[in-house]
């Protein structure tokens, strides 16, 4: 069975074009989602994975209707493959029922993995370079030594409430307690 998946980002848009194309493609059932493609958790996708069965094909009008990131697209197609299901994108002419379509998606997967490796290598190289110049990574500290000393002296005075101390120092209660505990 061919199952279509149509997604629009806002209520202002409509499904007409996608539905027409999916029906023309022979989809017996069409799942609709109204949500940003950047969101991986979508009710329509959850429904789709509840009903799709071995041998079924998920059909989309365009790849961007299924997901915005290559990583997410690959995860969805891998999930389909694990269930012995297929994937077809009409506009990009990708069809994993054929060996050529499977090859295209394996190439996409390899490119995504390569991209993740490059980003990881650049990040690590940047950290090593920054550390060699004496820079420390992470968030800047909220309080310096003077502010910590002031916080302690204010805290030692029982007439000051925790809320007052936090307001004076412009910090949250958890930040105050964390610095007090460190001493």
**Catalytic residue annotation:** 9
Report the alpha-carbon distance of residue 27 to residue 15 in Å, rounded. 15
Contacts of 21 (CB under 8 A, 6+ apart): 61, 90
Residue 161 burial (10 A CB sphere; 0-12, 13-18, 19+): exposed
H/E element holding 155? helix 145-156
Contacts of 26 (CB under 8 A, 6+ apart): 2
Report the alpha-carbon distance of residue 73 to residue 79 in Å, rounded. 10
Closest CA to 65 of 121, 128, 17: 17
Residue 69 CA neighbour count, 13 Å, CB half: 10
Report the alpha-carbon distance of residue 178 to residue 183 in Å, rounded. 9
């Amino acid at each position: 069975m061919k199952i279509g998946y149509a997604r629009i980002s806002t209520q202002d848009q409509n499904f007409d074009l996608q539905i027409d194309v999916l029906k023309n493609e022979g989809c017996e059932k069409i799942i609709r989602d109204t949500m940003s493609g950047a969101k991986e958790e979508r009710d329509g996708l959850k429904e789709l994975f509840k009903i799709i069965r071995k041998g079924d094909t998920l059909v989309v009008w365009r790849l961007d209707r299924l997901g915005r990131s290559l990583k997410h697209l690959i995860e969805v197609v891998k999930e389909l493959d694990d269930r012995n299901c297929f994937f077809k994108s009409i506009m990009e002419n990708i069809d994993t029922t054929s060996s050529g379509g499977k090859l295209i998606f394996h190439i996409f997967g390899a490119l995504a993995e390569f991209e993740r490796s490059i980003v990881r290598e650049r990040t690590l190289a940047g950290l090593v370079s920054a550390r060699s110049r004496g820079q420390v990574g992470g968030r800047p500290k909220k309080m310096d030594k003077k502010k910590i000393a002031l916080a302690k002296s204010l805290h030692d005075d029982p007439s000051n409430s925790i809320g007052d101390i936090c307001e004076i120092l412009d910090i949250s209660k958890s930040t105050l307690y964390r610095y007090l505990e460190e001493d």
